[in-house]
Amino acid sequence: MLKLLRYLKPYWWQVLILIAATGAQVFTTLVLPALMAEIINDGIVPGNTDFIWMTGFKMIGVALVSAVASFVSSYFSARVGSNFARDIRAAVFAKVLNMNVLDMKDFSTASLLTRTTNDVNQVQGVIIMMLSMMLRAPLFCIISVVMAINTAPDMSWIILVGAAAILGSVITIMSLVVPKFKIFQGLIDRVTLITRENLTGLRVVRAFNNEKLEQKKFRETNDKLTRLLIFIDKTLELQNPLINIIFNGTTLLCSWIGISLLEKDFAYLGNMTAFAQYVTFVMMSFLMMSMLFVMLPRANVSAHRINEVLMRKSKI
């Protein structure tokens, strides 16, 4: 995967704009819970209406800046990802045009088709996700943890419990799914090969009355692909309910511990509210990273298959 990142060089300035916009979005988003805590502690509890209005307008301005930064980040991640995929497709196509017959036999036409289309699409999707999440998720996680600890140090252990549970579930799911991705891409090649052979040689198949034989070959491969895809999808779908259980359990734990602390000091209400939001940001950042880690191995297989074509040295 790292070898393909050289195709991002022409778009380095767009990547820098994306990074700056992502940083601005993270900062402004994480400022909002702190402002909300100030409204509760210094505005609602003492009944200071002027402070509530002033801080409220400040929150609106921060939210608008966050929305603009989010739009800029999404725009440039999509733009860079699409151009990146275009350049790789062009490079693979140019390489294939210069291949001799011996090299073509080693790959097969169907495999080259899959590598130029499906594999490039897999890599493109992960690059777009990396550009939008690779910086955003760690920043959200680190800054949220720091601000949560500063806001409510008595409840900081809740973050460790939730993070450990999410990491455990992600590692378990990845250990089951990752080995299947290479098999999946091979079966995609096989389906493409059988389809292409029958479409280009349809008259020959009919001349020898081999329709049933070809249908049997396609059905067997298609069934294998379907079973494997069902297994991968079922395993990946376990992630959402597990994350929801962990997320809701962490929220309930925050409320339970926070309410017990409110009995000692009611002014702790604003801190508890801000802490709950920071915990939400931490859980969401782990969710974003887990999605990336699940997609990355599959894209890595596709990137390896693309590099096999691009790095191939001609036998002649």
DSSP assignment of 158-215, as one string? HHHHHHHHHHHHHHHHHHHHHHHHHHHHHHHHHHHHHHHHHHHTHHHHHHTT-HHHHH
Buried b (16+ CB within 10 A) or exposed e, 145-167: bebbbebbebbbebbeebbebbe
Q: Judge whether residue 1 has pLDDT over 70.
A: no
Q: Rounded to the nearest 10 degrees, what angle do helices 269-310 and 136-151 cross at?
A: 160
Q: Judge whether residue 258 has pLDDT over 80.
A: no
Q: Is 278 exposed, middle or buried (0-12, 13-18, 19+ CB in 10 A)?
A: buried
**pLDDT in the model for residue 268:** 62
| DSSP 8-class letter at 134 | I
In tens, the pLDDT along 22-56 reads: 888 888 888 888 788 778 777 776 777 888 888 88
**pLDDT in the model for residue 214:** 85
Q: Judge whether residue 175 has pLDDT over 60.
A: yes
Nearest to 246 by CA among 270, 295, 280, 205: 280
Nearest to 278 by CA among 33, 24, 114: 33
**pLDDT in the model for residue 68:** 92
> What is the C-alpha to C-alpha distance for residues 85 and 92, in angstroms, rounded to an integer?
11
Sheet strands (E) in the chain: none
**pLDDT in the model for residue 93:** 87
Nearest to 268 by CA among 158, 162, 153, 160: 153
**pLDDT in the model for residue 265:** 63
C-alpha 149: how far from its chain's center? Answer: 27
What tokens were used for 215?
């249908």
SS3 content of the chain, % helix, strand, coil (to 5): 90, 0, 10
Contacts of 251 by beta carbon, 8 Å cutoff, 6+ apart = 276, 279, 280
Nearest to 130 by CA among 311, 229, 4: 4
In tens, the pLDDT along 198-210 reads: 878 888 888 888 8
One-letter amino acid identity for 145?
V
> What is the C-alpha to C-alpha distance for residues 314 and 23, in angstroms, rounded to an integer?
45
- Average of per-residue pLDDT across 94-110: 76
* Stated pTM of the model: 0.67
Is residue 285 within 8 Å of 140, Cβ to Cβ? yes
**pLDDT in the model for residue 30:** 82
CA angle 275, 276, 282 (to 5 degrees): 85
User: How many CA within 13 A on the CB side of residue 25?
Assistant: 22
> What is the C-alpha to C-alpha distance for residues 164 and 40, in angstroms, rounded to an integer?
31
**Mean pLDDT over all residues of the chain?**
80
- Average of per-residue pLDDT across 189-216: 83
Neighbours of 299 (CB within 10 A): 23
> What is the C-alpha to C-alpha distance for residues 256 and 159, in angstroms, rounded to an integer?
14
Per-residue pLDDT band for 115 (boundaries 50, 70, 90) equals: confident
Nearest to 279 by CA among 27, 33, 70, 56: 33
In tens, the pLDDT along 259-295 reads: 776 666 655 666 777 777 778 788 777 777 777 776 7
> What is the C-alpha to C-alpha distance for residues 45 and 39, in angstroms, rounded to an integer?
9
Tokens 């079922």: give the residue: 234
**pLDDT in the model for residue 264:** 66
